[in-house]
Amino acid sequence: MKIKIKLFATLRDNRDKILEIEYKEGTEIREIIKDLNIDEKDVAILLKNGRSAKMDDVILEGDYLSLFPPIGGG
């Protein structure tokens, strides 16, 4: 199944803003991050379907990820 991955801020450097990649249901998010050549510590905010997720959470049909590096404001 295809999973949508949205990248933001500096994670977009040398990468597309939105990626759609083929993965099996039940794949750990950690594996997807690794395949993108992104260091886990460079992902400060990880959302699955807009809600906080962890690296060892798994993806299901229809899920999308949003990844942010350490950033903030107010």
Partner 1 sequence: MNKYYGYQGVILRVNLTERTIKKENLDLDEALKFIGGRGLGTKILMDEIDPNIDPLSIDNKLIFITGPLSGTNTPTGGRYMVVTKSPLTGTVACSNSGGYWGAELKFAGYDGIIIEGKAEKPVYLNIVDDVVEFKDATTIWGKLVGETTTILEEVHGKKSRVATIGPAGEKLSKMSSIMNERGRAAGRSGVGAVMGSKNLKAIVVRGTKKVNISDSEKLKEVFSRCITKIRENGVTGQGLPTYGSAILVNIINENGVMPTNNFQQSYFDKAEEISGETLSEKYLVKKEPCFRCPIACGRYCKVDDIEGSGPEYETVWGFGSDCGISDLGAIIKANYWCNEYGIDTISVSSTIAAAMELYQKGYIKKEDLDGSPELTWGNSEAIIEWTKKIGECTGLGAKMAEGSYRLCESYGVPELSMSVKKQELPAYDPRGIQGIGINYATSNRGGCHVRGYMISPEILGLPQSLDRFSIEGKAEWTKIFQDFTAGIDSVGLCLFTSFALGADDYADLYNAVSGINISGNDFIEAGERIWNLERLFNLKAGIDPSQDTLPKRLLEDPIAEGPSKGCVNKLSETLPEYYKVRGWSEEGLPTEERLEVLGIKEYM
Q: Does 26 bind partner 1 (CB under 8 A)?
A: no
Q: Which of 19, 36, 47, 55 binds partner 1 (CB under 8 A)?
A: 47
Q: Which stretch binds partner 1 (CB under 8 A): 26-34, 44-52, 55-63?
A: 44-52
Give the residue with the Cβ less far from partner 1, 26 or 72: 72
SS3 for 45? strand
Count other Cβ atoms within 10 Å, centred on residue 15.
13
d(CA 29, CA 74): 29
Interface pick for partner 1 out of 45, 55, 57, 58 (rule CB under 8 A) = 45
Q: How far is CA 57 from CA 17, 26, 38, 67, 71, in A?
A: 22, 9, 17, 14, 23
- The contact set with partner 1 (CB under 8 A) reads 6, 8-10, 12, 17, 44-45, 47, 49-52, 66, 68-74
